[in-house]
Amino acid sequence: NSYNNNAGSSPVIGLIEQIIEDSKALEAETTAGETQAQAGYQQFVKDGNNLITDLQAASASKSKASAAADADRAQASADHESTVGELEELEQVQADLHAECDFVLKNFDVRQKARLQEIEAIQKGKAILSRSNAK
């Protein structure tokens, strides 16, 4: 059985060949699109991973800076409390010295009068002793 070409089959075969060519072109286009989409996705994942790594490093850096700032704040607070304590002590010392000075100033005239009276009494005593030794 030999097959003979049918004269009317030429347009059908041409249409089938056209469909095959269109299918191959569509397949090539789809494959190229899929390849581009895959490359885009891989780049997206790579960029996302890099961004995550960078953000994690920034977060760690900021956490360290925050911890350092907290330590500095705690130290400054302790220094402030210490300084306030010293100032309160100095204020008390100043108040005590002021009270002593006020006492000395208030009683200066009384003490000076008492000293002068003591000096006069000593001089009188010396004069009496000088006269009794001279006899």
Tens digit of each residue's pLDDT (9 = 90 or more) over 71-82: 999 999 999 999
Residue 117 has pLDDT above 90, yes or no: yes
Tokens for 103?
């006492």
As a whole number of angstroms, the distance between CA 88 and CA 109 comes to 33
Tokens for 110?
């009384």
Provide the pLDDT for residue 1.
Answer: 43
DSSP state at residue 119: H
Provide the pLDDT for residue 13.
Answer: 80
- What CA–CA distances, in Å, run from 121 to 65, 99, 102, 110, 127? 79, 32, 29, 16, 10
Tokens for 19?
């469909």
Tokens for 43?
């780049």
Q: State the pTM of this model.
A: 0.47
Determine the Cα angle at 134 with ends 132 and 135, to 5°.
70
User: Where is mean pLDDT largest: 13-17, 103-107, 110-114?
Assistant: 110-114
Residue 5 has pLDDT above 90, yes or no: no
Element (H, E) at 19: helix 10-106
User: What is the tens place of the pLDDT at every residue in 8-19?
Assistant: 557 778 888 899
Provide the pLDDT for residue 2.
Answer: 45
